[in-house]
Amino acid sequence: MGITRRQLLAAGGACAVGGALWAGTKRAPRVLLRSSWQTVNIGDIAHTPGVLALLETHVPGAEVWLWPSKVDNGVAELLKKRFPKLAIVQGDAALKAAFAECDFFLHGSGPSLVAAKDLARWRKETQKPYGVYGITLPVASEPVLDLIGGAKFCFFRDSVSLKLAKDRGAKSSVMDFGPDGAFATDVRNDRAAETFLKANGLESGKFLCCIPRLRYTPYWKIHDRKMTAEDEAKHKTNEAKKEQDHAPLRDAITAVVKKAGLKVLVCPEDRSQMAVGKELLVDPLPADVKKSVVWRAEYWLTDEALSTYVRSAGLFGNEMHSPIMCVGNGVPAVVCRWAEQTSKGLMWADIGLKGWLFNMDEDQDRGRVAETVLALAADPKAAQEKAAKAREFVRRRQKETMKVLADELAKLAP
């Protein structure tokens, strides 16, 4: 899916939908979006279409060029379906053209300043402005703080990261809370979702989704490689904590099936979680509960997953970005987290959903998961209203943060 310099320039308006950000000038402003970190996780995939959708809505007229790390496994096609004019920058020649032609570098959402080296390269080679949109800051190293300090803006997706940056003396022109870009994800594959639901006896509004997760993603399995010493240590932690981290989810599944009369779909966010869900959620269930539980045995992409989530009554589990996509689309979602996941999960409290956030390292929190999920299932109207309120807060911040970018682009008008 590489693209030449000529094709990049001809694509012009990659995500432009009209408007005149630089009215009266010879061309629109060009934004180089650095995103798309990997494709083995539908959450990492979701960052990109989410930010693209925000740019489309709030920065109309801008040309957006995408510089991805990974768009394989059908992801390039997913993006092009939603954004047919999208220019995907791949290869040295195309990247050289992007550095020459683009006016602003936008680092997309991620678990850290993922592309710090690329951002440093942009700053050194072009001296052009840049900004950071919706990241967690797990470690405030000096090089990262220096890059943040040079940004026109840096938005953190959780308040703990924002505080860490401020406490360490980061001096970006604008530093504030800014939602993860995945909240705006709106890609769909309705046909695939409806086909799967029908084949498995799941009716819209009459099932919940549940997502398992180990403490550490077993990338050695996903990429079929030999385990390193670090992998061995992570595997040991996974084994030690897996029952503690999944027993509350099984309790919630049982409560939903027996007391709310709903079905449950156990589904993955990354390529390792089909097996995890079967081992730790489905197989241990009693027979009378298991008959109302559907196990998805295959990985899926973000569009089919989101089309499934919006047909559900809600979602719960140990992952982060499926809940983000749910709430971004008005679907209730409960988040269970632990220390190894950094501070990103705390964004749930930042957007008003503290009651749907659980620390699986705390006995008291683990004990409240099932009753909270059951309450969500038993009173869908109240749950939807709560999700809608959080979504409205997120959308307001999205509008405000995107205005900061639009204002920066306006300053660059020739």
* Domains of the chain by residue range: 5-182+395-411, 190-378
pLDDT at position 23, please?
Answer: 76
Strand 207-211 relative to strand 315-317, pairing: parallel
Could you tell me which CATH number the domain at 5-182+395-411 has? 3.40.50.2000
Q: What is the pLDDT of residue 26?
A: 77
Instruction: Identify the CATH assignment for 190-378 out of 3.40.190.10, 3.40.50.2000, 3.40.50.1820, 3.50.50.60.
Output: 3.40.50.2000
How far is residue 222 from each of residues 22, 211, 305, 341, measured CA to CA in Å? 45, 17, 19, 19
**pLDDT greater at residue 170 or residue 8:** 170
Instruction: Determine the pLDDT at residue 20.
Output: 62
User: Average pLDDT of 115-137?
Assistant: 98
- State pLDDT tens for residues 144-154: 999 999 999 99
pLDDT, position 22 = 80
Stretch 145-165: mean pLDDT, rounded?
Answer: 97
Same fold yes or no, 5-182+395-411 and 190-378: yes
| Residues recorded for the chain | 414
- The rounded distance, in Å, linking the Cα atoms of 184 and 178 is 12
| Tens digit of each residue's pLDDT (9 = 90 or more) over 37-76 | 999 999 999 999 999 999 999 999 899 999 999 999 999 9
Res 10 pLDDT > 90: no
Q: Is the pLDDT of residue 5 over 80?
A: no
The answer to whether residues 181 and 109 touch, using CB atoms and an 8 Å cutoff, is yes
